[in-house]
Structure 1
Amino acid sequence: MYQPSNKRRLKFQIVSKSALIRLTILCGILLVLSIWGWFTMFAMPAQSYRGQFTTLNNEEIALQALLKQDIQKIASEIGARNSGQYAKLNATKAFLEEAFTKAGYQPKSIEYKIQGKPYYNLEVEKIGTDQPQEIVVVGGHYDTAFNSQGANDNATGAAATLELARIFATKPTKRTIRFVEFTNEEPPYFWTKDMGSLVYAKQLHEQGENIVAMLSLETMGYFSDIEKSQKYPFPIGLLYPNQGNFIGFIGNIQSGDLVRKAIASFRNHAQFPSEGASLPDWIPGIGWSDHWSFWQQGYPAIMVTDTATYRYPHYHTEQDTFDKIDFGKLTRVVTGLAEVIADLAN
């Protein structure tokens, strides 16, 4: 019978011990990476609200009426608005400009051209009292995809931007706040040099503006308590609820601190479910709005959203209409965002 020599047994023991050390080191590295990934991407401060909703107070009832009025005007009366419906795109801009003026602002219409035709980002500004050079940008796009009325995508974001501007019109903050209505977020300009928010963010960078935070308000008004109504890019859904009844705070890895600050503020002030994540920007959906444009210029930026195509069955269709919006819940979200903006701007 064959018997291995002592020398061979010793060599085998050394190889086995070396392999065990390598395996242990590898497991340790994977553990460290897992812990880092959890705390970097998924761990959020405070707890998402899970209780019953209280009755809207008088201020919230008034806000709800204004949101309804704005979205009725933008989505139902004006309707589809983009480069293919150019007159309606400009009609939306004119409506928003007039509303900002009535709120006490002096709107700045920022023109740029595509093939000789003018398009406009619309900006109003509340100058900070102590650190006016530090700027918080809050914005949503007012154009739509294709022939969609875009009640949720993105009349909700455009109306929320307008109403938040009204709230802060007479409220002093230490930092400057700019409320911006962006044009041309949707195809064919999405993620191109002609995307309105990218044109705007480039201008800020060229001017050396100090943008400390940007909130992109995107598709914010659809909610569902039905099981499996919420979808995610795989495998993120393993960590989050399958009911689409929350508002999301989404950023890239570099904007992780802003995600955590914003959702902590929201959870401290708002009685509404919320989920947050700071994820690699190559994951589908993470960069699908105007915050992406600010990432390109190195600015911290996040998206506040109901997750759009991952929840909303009428995304980019002609069925994206006024009646699909849950105005009570949208009002609670916007009320909470007012507190988030106040915290960021102070």
Structure 2
Amino acid sequence: MHLKFRLFESPTAFRLLLLALLMAMIGFIAWLMMIWMPGTSYAGELPVLNPLQAELRNGLRRNVEMLATTIGPRNVQHPENMQKASQFLFKELEDMGYVVERQAYKALDQTFENLIVEVPGKSRPKDVIVVGAHYDSAYKSPAANDNGSGVAATLELARSYMGRKPSRTVRFAFFANEEPPFNWTKDMGSLVYAKSLKAREENIVGMFSLETIGYYSDQPNTQRYPQPLDKLYPTTGNFVAFVSNIASRELLRGSIRSFRHHAQFPSEGAALPNSLPGVGWSDHWSFWQVGYPGVMITDTATFRYPYYHTEQDTPDKLDYDRLTLVVSGVEKMLGDLVGAPV
């Protein structure tokens, strides 16, 4: 006992102890900021779809098949298909009763366009939440999951909000040119849009990027991560992920809390440095560039999906029942955030 007390009489030993305590405290705070999420991920048997969800599933499948089978690869190498995809989305939105904004811009001597529709808020119209997905594809991929699934979900969410009266304004956006060669450049469609919002000084209180959300597996070791996340999260790819940068962590926590309250579906979330691979790999990144909070909702894409950016990314690879449960949960989460409960 006497020797132990003498150890702490050493200034060096005492400083080392303080340093160790400080590092432990920093690690705990970092965990709270990045990893800890409110609520509990659902772990039970997945529910059977109710009649409304079955109708939603049919709509999701129909949209994916239109984009990936009828239209096919759509990007700067396939300009005619980009036009067909834009025309399909425009007509769908117009048929719902929306007035569709077309934001056209030029890149590589071609004209591209973002499509945006809005449901105005009643009591807080200047508070705006954007839900968006990119409709272009990578290379020769038909892009059923990346990102036909996200586009299909955004279309059906827009359909569900037609005629509703939220407190905040909600916008549904369909972006061009998220994929190469435009990713993380000034010609990325979502960055063109985000910059226009910033120039108008709009109050975007949150942006949700629906990115590759249709593939799930109950098999062990089907989920990968960039290090060091591989030590912290499940190795079975049966969940949907909510991902943000550190600055967007409050939006992330609020959204996953709501999703977990409403949805009977496994979910994981993290607010992470943008330097980690995958964290900024979609349209939410564009909103971060101009200071808006943004969250990506995803099945984690290349960290799970074996057909990522390939010609095998076809509609038959998607799990439409699980995609439906995710979209249904996002609809209710969005209702909480904009003040239009489902």
Calculate the TM-score normalised by the size of structure 1. 0.95
Tell me if 1:113 matches 2:109. no
Residue of 199, 203, 219 corresponding to 1:226: 219
Q: Provide the secondary structure at the position in 2 that maps to 1:316.
A: coil
Figure out how many residues of one structure are paired with residues of the other and give that number: 334
- C-alpha deviation, 1:22, in angstroms: 1.4
Cross-structure match for 1:140: 133
Cross-structure match for 1:21: 14
Contact persistence 2:7–2:13 (CA under 8 A)? no
Give deviations 1:152-193, integer Å, cap 9, x for gaps. Answer: 000000111110000011221000001000000000000001
| Alignment partners' CA distance in 2, 1:115 and 1:143 | 15
5+ residue gaps in structure 2? 1-5
Q: Provide the secondary structure at the position in 1 that maps to 2:271.
A: strand
| Alignment partners' CA distance in 2, 1:116 and 1:221 | 33
- C-alpha deviation, 1:115, in angstroms: 3.7
Cross-structure match for 1:305: 298
Tell me if 1:164 matches 2:172. no
Which residue identity is paired with 1:269? H
Cross-structure match for 2:93: 100
Cross-structure match for 2:61: 68
Tell me if 1:217 matches 2:210. yes
Contact persistence 2:137–2:143 (CA under 8 A)? yes
Q: Provide the secondary structure at the position in 1 that maps to 2:251.
A: helix
Cross-structure match for 1:4: none
Q: Provide the secondary structure at the position in 2 that maps to 1:343.
A: helix
Max Rg structure: 1
Which residue identity is paired with 2:316? D
Contact persistence 2:68–2:315 (CA under 8 A)? yes
- C-alpha deviation, 1:31, in angstroms: 1.1
Which residue identity is paired with 1:277? A
Cross-structure match for 1:51: 44
- C-alpha deviation, 1:197, in angstroms: 0.4
Give deviations 1:52-99, integer Å, cap 9, x for gaps. Answer: 122111100000000011111011110000010001011001000000
- C-alpha deviation, 1:28, in angstroms: 1.5
Residue of 199, 220, 242 corresponding to 2:192: 199
| Structural mapping, 1:21-40, within 5 Å | 21-40=14-33
| Alignment partners' CA distance in 2, 1:115 and 1:324 | 33
Residue of 175, 178, 201 corresponding to 1:182: 175
- C-alpha deviation, 1:116, in angstroms: 3.6
Which residue identity is paired with 1:183? A
| Alignment partners' CA distance in 2, 1:74 and 1:136 | 25
| Alignment partners' CA distance in 1, 2:237 and 2:7 | 55
CA RMSD in angstroms comes to 1.2
Q: Provide the secondary structure at the position in 2 that maps to 1:258.
A: helix
Cross-structure match for 2:3: none
5+ residue gaps in structure 1? 1-12
| Alignment partners' CA distance in 1, 2:183 and 2:47 | 39
Between 1:221-230 and 1:13-22, the stretch displaced more is 13-22
Residue of 139, 142, 159 corresponding to 1:149: 142
Q: Provide the secondary structure at the position in 1 that maps to 2:313.
A: coil
| Alignment partners' CA distance in 1, 2:224 and 2:322 | 20
Which residue identity is paired with 2:23? L
Contact persistence 2:8–2:14 (CA under 8 A)? no
Cross-structure match for 2:245: 252
Calculate the TM-score normalised by the size of structure 2. 0.96
Percent of aligned pairs sharing the same letter: 48
| Structural mapping, 1:286-305, within 5 Å | 286-305=279-298
Q: Residues 226 and 24 from structure 1, CA distance in 2 versus in 1: closer, same or farther, beyond 3 angstroms?
A: same
Which residue identity is paired with 1:193? K
- C-alpha deviation, 1:25, in angstroms: 1.6
